[in-house]
Amino acid sequence: MGELRKVVCPYCGFGCNLLIDSKTLKVRPYRGEPNRGKLCPKGLHATEFVTSRDRLKRPLKRIGSAMVPISWGVAIDEIAGKLLEIRELYGADAVAFLASSKVSNEENYLLQKIARLFGTNNIDNCARLCHEASVHALKLAVGTGAQTNPYEDLEGFKAILIWGYNPAETHPVVMDYILRAKRRGAKIIVVDVRKTRTMAFADYKLVLRPGTDITLANAMIHVIIREELYDEEFIRSRTNGFSEVKMAVRKYTPEYAERVTGIPAETIRAVARTFALAGSGAVMWGMGLTQHVSGVENVLAVIDLVLLPGYIGERGGLYPMRGQNNVQGAAYMGALSEFLPGYVPLSDERFRKRVASLWGVEDLPTERGLYLTELWDEIEEGNVKALYIVGENPAVSEADFAQVRRALRKLDLLVVQDVFPTKTARYAHYLLPASAFCEKSGSYMNSERRIQWSEKVCEPYADSKPDWEILGMLGKALGLPGFNYSRVEEITAEYFRLFPELEERSVEELKSSDGIFLPKKRLHTWEFATPDGKARLIAVEQIAPWEVPDKEYPFVLTTVRLISHYNTGEMTLRSPSLVKLMGEPRALINERDAERFGINEGDLIEIETRRGRIRMRAKVGGVPEGVIAVPFHFKPNRLTGSALNKAGTPEFKFSACRVRKAGKLKGEASE
């Protein structure tokens, strides 16, 4: 038996700590915060993919149709030379960088530093695909684009409203906090478009029609205001915009909402009263709210629900639950095209100059860069010539991935830095092998803004290198200032200096603790992070989906997660234990719809949208009539559209589709 090292789990944004044996790589749960001795199946088997034979072993360069091994020195020099040549010919904005929600804070910090010193704000990450709508809405309403409270607060709240989110499968360990609250008398309310595992623990189970979230939220607000269930003193002293919301929701009666959402009016009244009168409460939400063209407005509506009874600080909170282990950290480190580190806008000259000074230059570019979801059009139009990707797989994860793959083929230079030869890597000109999570040290930030240190357990596989080392080499080769790092802790100390709350904290303190909250454990207790210190209640109206069902495509297609699977499957499909657990993916179809089409449990069905078609086995039940729900980990992004909301997030949760019992298809597109 070897030494046990504490490591942050590489999967979801809950931020569990693992104790990993340095010899056997066996995993044990950590008994401290935040997971308190609990782990889900992915955490228990987190190291299995690390030993996969599919790992990238050495740098590769495309010569013709072959990928040929080259040395690290040659690879970095050639990549840097081509990037500089493209900048010389077309300008810095002809280059774009994609950061990763799976690598450390230090590594995301370095990549956005490279992009901005190179001269472009074309730096983004997959937060754009999930919770960027939450960030935009939270900044508008309360001034800070992140979760307001720690997980531990959930145990004491008297009402928990879970909306478009299924923690029993996506964040199983957080269910322990929710169930403790329930045992103490809290009411659990779940809103979703299907019957989820989480609903088994709920006091109220609301299955609504897809795309009608604002109508339901506004109807609840209507009841709270009409029956004067709001906190009048809190509204008067700590918010603006109440009158506008009051006027906007007048027409959203529970009876009207019943016709739109399918939820009985009396249920809407009961849920609104239960939540508002609980005395304390939280809203937890996921991509069921954000991945719509109305995503920003959806989140604003549930923020209003929390603000009306004054559920802020010790009385309640806002919980946008993050999907990947460091998506919160990637965003906080500045791997977003419109924000510097700390979600500070590029237009904040004082902070921008502070960052520039730390990096040894006078100023940084000020124009917003491309959103990840805008990038593919710009490549197809010839405006972006080079793309450097760290730990992302957009050839599978992006909406309408057929367009993404066309764009990748068109690039003059595509560099993919990853652990595995992903589907995106098939289009690369250079492949750089990165070390896995337990082969390097660094810090990560979980959904509650807790920065945690993750220790190195074992040596990097073959000739792979930690992402921070690769990016350090690239920064030097590009001639950028400030890339003489010899230890990852030097990068940690550098980003600590950017944040006033961390300036007096040390890396050693981080290593020896259960984490440091940034900026503090609980936000907005006394005032909000807005110019006047008050929250904004923002009135929103129901917004129609980009694509609605019709005679040709009469069903609504939505996407869901599975407990044993993760994102595009590059990690979980290389974990034998998880492969055994997950089984074959199934598409959910309503019982009446199945009967109408002659579909039985386990039948192969074909699901088609205007963009493509896929086949999947049927699981009968669990969704309302007219809805098809498919796991997003497999092929559904062949079907989803590229319509974006105000934050640049695609409408993954609503596409018009048709379905039939599958027969043999001639010339069906292969993966």
| Segment 616-630 mean pLDDT | 95
Structure tokens that stand for 529 in this block:
């992070």
Q: What is the pLDDT of residue 665?
A: 45
Q: How many other CB atoms are there within 10 angstroms of residue 237's CB atom?
A: 10
Does the structure show a pLDDT above 90 at 399? no
CATH superfamily of this structure's domain 132-321: Dimethylsulfoxide Reductase, domain 2 (3.40.228.10)
Q: What is the pLDDT of residue 118?
A: 98
- What pLDDT, in 10s, does the model give residues 215-241? 999 999 999 999 999 999 999 999 999
- What pLDDT, in 10s, does the model give residues 185-194? 999 999 999 9
91-95, 100-104, 535-539, 639-643: segment of lowest average pLDDT: 639-643
479 exposure class (CB count in 10 Å sphere: 0-12, 13-18, 19+): exposed
User: Cα separation of 592 and 598, whole Å?
Assistant: 10
Q: What is the pLDDT of residue 634?
A: 63
Confidence of residue 668 (pLDDT cuts 50, 70, 90): very low
Does the structure show a pLDDT above 60 at 671? no
Confidence of residue 633 (pLDDT cuts 50, 70, 90): low
Distance of CA 377 to the CA centre of its chain: 22
Q: Which residues contact 37 (CB under 8 A, 6 or more apart)?
A: 29, 30, 31
Cα dihedral: 528, 443, 371, 521 (round 10): -10
| Segment 494-505 mean pLDDT | 94
Q: How many other CB atoms are there within 10 angstroms of residue 544's CB atom?
A: 10
Give CATH for domain 555-661: 2.40.40.20
User: Cα separation of 433 and 439, whole Å?
Assistant: 12
Q: What is the pLDDT of residue 400?
A: 81
Helical ranges in 386-487 per DSSP H: 394-397, 401-410, 467-477
| Segment 474-489 mean pLDDT | 97
Helices (H) and strands (E) in the chain, counts: 23, 28
Q: Which residues contact 584 (CB under 8 A, 6 or more apart)?
A: 617
First-to-final CA distance of the chain = 42
Percentage of residues in the chain having pLDDT higher than 70: 98
Query: Which phi-psi region, left, alpha or beta, contains residue 632 (left: φ > 0; alpha: ψ -120 to 50)?
Result: alpha
| Segment 8-24 mean pLDDT | 97
| CA 375 to each of CA 20, 209, 612: distance values in angstroms, whole numbers, following the listed order | 39, 32, 21
Instruction: Note whether 128 and 647 are within 8 A (CB).
Output: yes
Q: What is the pLDDT of residue 669?
A: 45
| Segment 139-166 mean pLDDT | 97
| Segment 66-95 mean pLDDT | 98
Q: What is the pLDDT of residue 670?
A: 40
Give CATH for domain 60-127+326-517: 3.40.50.740
| Segment 53-66 mean pLDDT | 97
Give the strand pairing for 17-21 and 27-29. antiparallel
Q: What is the pLDDT of residue 194?
A: 94
User: Cα separation of 304 and 293, whole Å?
Assistant: 19
Q: Please give the mean pLDDT across all residues of the chain.
A: 95
Does the structure show a pLDDT above 60 at 142? yes
Distance of CA 307 to the CA centre of its chain: 24
Q: From the options 3.30.200.20, 3.30.70.1710, 2.20.25.90, 3.40.640.10, give the CATH code of 4-51.
A: 2.20.25.90
Domain 4-51 and domain 132-321, same fold? Reply is no
Structure tokens that stand for 260 in this block:
């739109």
Instruction: Note whether 635 and 671 are within 8 A (CB).
Output: yes
- What pLDDT, in 10s, does the model give residues 525-540? 999 999 999 999 999 9
Confidence of residue 649 (pLDDT cuts 50, 70, 90): very high
Instruction: Kindly list the domain boundaries of the chain, sorted by start residue.
Output: 4-51, 60-127+326-517, 132-321, 555-661
Q: What is the pLDDT of residue 642?
A: 82
User: Cα separation of 5 and 22, whole Å?
Assistant: 7
| Segment 241-263 mean pLDDT | 98
